[in-house]
Amino acid sequence: MKILIHNLPTTIKNCDLFKLFRPHGEVEDISIPYNILGYGQGHAYVKMKNKKEGEIAIQNLQNLEIEGTNVIVEEWYTPLD
């Protein structure tokens, strides 16, 4: 299952997201878009092994506060899904 996370701090790293998502299931991939200065753009994509683990992660991490901001976590669909 693919997950989109909004409202992330620009300093977030892959290892930070891995630590957040790993307790909820197997993380297959993490992608953080960066700007030309090397800062995150405030969102990221996480791929969990299966839908059940993804749903658990979304439920448990929704509105989690990171550096003073509540994140939004939702299932992510692409045109090819």
H or E segment and range at residue 51:
helix 51-61
Average pLDDT over every residue of 36-61: 96
Closest alpha carbon to 14 in 47, 57, 61: 47
| pLDDT at residue 77 in the model | 86
Rounded to two decimals, what is the model's pTM? 0.91
What are the pLDDT digits (tens) for 3-46? 999 999 999 999 999 999 999 999 999 999 999 999 999 999 99
pLDDT at 67 over 70: yes
Asked if CATH classification 3.90.1330.10 holds for the domain at 2-75, the reply, yes or no, is no
